């Protein structure tokens, strides 16, 4: 029994020390450069040092923001907020048609009662027919309005995404132009 326990403990110690040695030998992940963060690949064509490249990227970032009026990090935050607002608007538009059947029933019942009284002296029968007709018509109008509202929200969201993409492209062009002037090869 003690021999088995000793073997198990020895095995566990060997495994844990091997796992610790493996985790210590793996290098820490290299942090992304500013250019890589905004989706631009930069190569130092004139042999610039990493520190110099980092400084040049920061300078060009500021220059590009100043010349385009676009800060990619702020644009990204705004795009996320717009996406959340668009989702909320879609849900609101989807719920816009709810209750229209009941509203249609009330209006239809009132109209049916009036027509039923005039046509056949049976307001109750006319009200029932009017209510059913009103429910159907109200639901149709509600669905159509809801679908149109959802389509408008989707179009606005697509336009916002396109505008954001255009802003990002303008920034990348300006950022790249600055870095190329500093003797870097740039691709995005």
Q: What are the pLDDT digits (tens) for 98-127?
A: 555 565 555 555 555 445 455 555 556 655
pLDDT score for 107: 57
Matching residue, tokens 């740039």: 186
The reported pLDDT for the residue numbered 92 is: 75
Give kind and range of the element (H or E) at residue 43.
strand 41-44
Please report the pLDDT score of residue 114 as a whole number: 47
What is the average pLDDT value for the chain, to the nearest integer? 76
**184 phi/psi in degrees, rounded to 5:** -115, 150
Q: Determine the 3-state secondary structure of 187 from DSSP.
A: strand
- pTM for the whole thing? 0.59
Q: How far apart are CA 180 and CA 174, in angstroms?
A: 10
Q: What is the pLDDT of residue 168?
A: 93
Q: Tell me what pLDDT residue 2 has.
A: 59
Predicted confidence pLDDT, tens digits, the chain (188 residues):
556 545 544 554 555 555 555 555 667 677 889 999 999 999 999 999 999 999 999 999 999 999 999 999 998 888 888 878 878 877 776 665 555 556 555 555 555 544 545 555 555 665 566 556 666 666 666 676 677 777 887 888 888 889 889 999 999 999 999 999 999 999 98
Query: For residues 61 and 38, what is the distance between their CA atoms, to the nearest angstrom?
Result: 10
Residue 179 to residue 188: CA distance in whole angstroms = 12
Give the C-alpha separation, 81 to 178, whole Å: 30
Q: Where are the domains of the chain?
A: 33-74+82-187
């Amino acid at each position: 029994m003690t021999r088995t326990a000793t073997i198990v403990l020895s095995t566990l110690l060997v495994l844990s020390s091997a796992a610790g040695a493996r985790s210590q030998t793996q290098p820490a992940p290299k942090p992304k450069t500013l250019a890589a963060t905004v989706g631009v690949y930069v190569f130092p064509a004139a042999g610039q040092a990493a520190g110099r490249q980092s400084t040049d990227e920061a300078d060009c970032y500021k220059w590009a923001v100043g010349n385009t009026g676009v800060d990619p990090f702020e644009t990204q935050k705004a795009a996320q907020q717009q996406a959340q607002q668009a989702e909320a608007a879609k849900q609101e538009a989807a719920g816009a048609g709810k209750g229209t059947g009941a509203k249609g029933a009330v209006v239809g019942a009132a109209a049916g009662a009036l027509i039923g009284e005039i046509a056949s002296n049976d307001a109750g029968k006319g009200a029932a027919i009017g209510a059913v007709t009103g429910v159907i018509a109200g639901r149709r109008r509600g669905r159509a309005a809801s679908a149109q509202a959802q389509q408008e929200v989707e179009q606005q969201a697509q336009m916002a995404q396109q505008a954001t993409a255009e802003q990002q492209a303008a920034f990348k062009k300006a950022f790249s132009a600055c870095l190329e002037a500093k003797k870097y090869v740039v691709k995005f």
